[in-house]
Structure 1
Amino acid sequence: MKHKKVPGVPNQIKGGYHDTENKVTYPNSEDLEKSFNTAKKKLFDINNWSNYTSDVIAEFVLCDQEGIVVERDPQIGDYVKILLKAKPNPQKKDYIWVRIDMIDHSNPNSLMMQMRPSTLPGNQFGGNIMHFYSSGSTLTFIVSKGNNYVKAAVYGRNEKANTNTDLLSGIKNRLTALGARFGSQKIQWKTFTEMLLNNK
């Protein structure tokens, strides 16, 4: 199946991709606006993504450009550190890192945020990419509304394994990326979009 062409989402050139969408219709504008505003608030509440549903197993933490944990709305240039599996005392190497490259709320009917794998904060122009995908991969989150619906979507583009690292990490990244490409990541993001549209 071919990838969707969505305004604001990078073109698919090479590697894996996914289009994860969820839509809920509403009988009246009041319920629609409530759901839309709730979904936007949840999308920006990165530190609580894993708390909104037990089905999202990763832990997400918003950090500023220096890597310091912050409790606020995300900004362009911020980082998100992600712990894929719960560990009692996680070390720096246990996290993967992404950088927020774009936030667009110029359209009153949508909110868009885009991330890509990154180096550690403070090493934007040097150091290894701390992710199992390469820096050319992107993840775009969109919350939008229509006449009678609210839609939450996550679009992955150009998902290639990060092999620019040591041999053992390169093999691990290939296996993780392969698993994500064959559905495990799709299931996670499907649950995530459902969470955004759940008004609880």
Structure 2
Amino acid sequence: MKAKKIPGIPLQVKGQFHDTESIQKFDNAQETELKYNILKERFFDINKWGTYSKENIAEFTLCDSTAKSVDRLPIIGDYIKILLSEVQNPERNNYQWVRIDMIDKTNPNSIMIQCRPSKLPGDQFAGNTVHFHSGGTTSTFIISKGNDYIKMAIYGRNEKPNQNTDVISSIKNMFIAFKGVVGSSKIQWKLLTDGMISFK
């Protein structure tokens, strides 16, 4: 299976990829519009993303360029700090960091947020990428609507283990990335996309 070619999403060149999509259909355009507006509120409230999954897959925290957590709409240059749910008693190096490189709201029927693994905020010219994937990986989050449906999708491209770190972290990153290859991260993303468009 090949990665889907979608405008605004980087081409798949090397490593792994995933196309994770969830769709909810409705009886009419009015209900669709109502639910899409709710979805937009959820989409921009990144700090609550983890609460929409039926299982606690991860904790998401929106941070500014200094790594300070913030409770507002995301902007380009912000960061998302991610703690996987399987981590117990987390330490500083257990968190994964991604930077928001793009937010596209030009299409009235869709919104896109694109992120990539990053170094610690405020330390862009020193240190290592703090994520189990390499800096060439992208994750693109998209919500969209049609006349009778809303959709939440996450597209991962060029996913490779982050080897730009110490030996122990490199081994850990390879293990986590391998778990993604065999399906666990795909399932986790699906839990998130399903939860975001669920209104029960």
Q: TM-score, normalising length from structure 1?
A: 0.95
Alignment of 1:154-193 (within 5 A): 154-193=154-193
For the Cα contact (< 8 Å) 2:23–2:152, is it kept in 1? yes
Deviation at 1:198, TM superposition (A): 1.2
How many corresponding residue pairs? 200
List runs of 5+ in structure 2 lacking aligned partners.
none
Secondary structure of the corresponding residue to residue 83 of structure 1: strand
**CA RMSD after TM alignment:** 1.3
Q: After the TM superposition, which of the residue ranges 129-138 and 87-96 deviates more from structure 2?
A: 87-96
Give the structure 1 partner of residue 107 of structure 2. Answer: 107
Secondary structure of the corresponding residue to residue 56 of structure 1: coil
Give the structure 2 partner of residue 77 of structure 1. Answer: 77
CA deviation string 1:147-174 (max 9, x = no partner): 2211110000000000111111111100
Secondary structure of the corresponding residue to residue 177 of structure 1: helix
Deviation at 1:49, TM superposition (A): 1.1
Give the structure 1 partner of residue 143 of structure 2. Answer: 143
Q: Tell whether 2:93 aligns with 1:93.
A: yes
What CA distance in whole angstroms lies between the structure 2 residues aligned with 1:182 and 1:126?
33
Deviation at 1:56, TM superposition (A): 3.5
Secondary structure of the corresponding residue to residue 81 of structure 2: strand
Q: Tell whether 2:183 aligns with 1:195.
A: no
Deviation at 1:82, TM superposition (A): 0.8
Deviation at 1:86, TM superposition (A): 5.9
Secondary structure of the corresponding residue to residue 183 of structure 2: helix
CA deviation string 1:16-75 (max 9, x = no partner): 000001112211111101111111111111111112234132111110001001000111
For the Cα contact (< 8 Å) 1:56–1:188, is it kept in 2? no
Q: After the TM superposition, which of the residue ranges 44-53 and 133-142 deviates more from structure 2?
A: 44-53
Q: After the TM superposition, which of the residue ranges 25-34 and 45-54 deviates more from structure 2?
A: 45-54
For the Cα contact (< 8 Å) 1:56–1:192, is it kept in 2? no
Deviation at 1:194, TM superposition (A): 0.9
For the Cα contact (< 8 Å) 1:56–1:191, is it kept in 2? no
What CA distance in whole angstroms lies between the structure 2 residues aligned with 1:140 and 1:181?
18
Give the structure 2 partner of residue 65 of structure 1. Answer: 65
For the Cα contact (< 8 Å) 1:38–1:199, is it kept in 2? no
List runs of 5+ in structure 1 lacking aligned partners.
none
What CA distance in whole angstroms lies between the structure 1 residues aligned with 2:194 and 2:57?
15
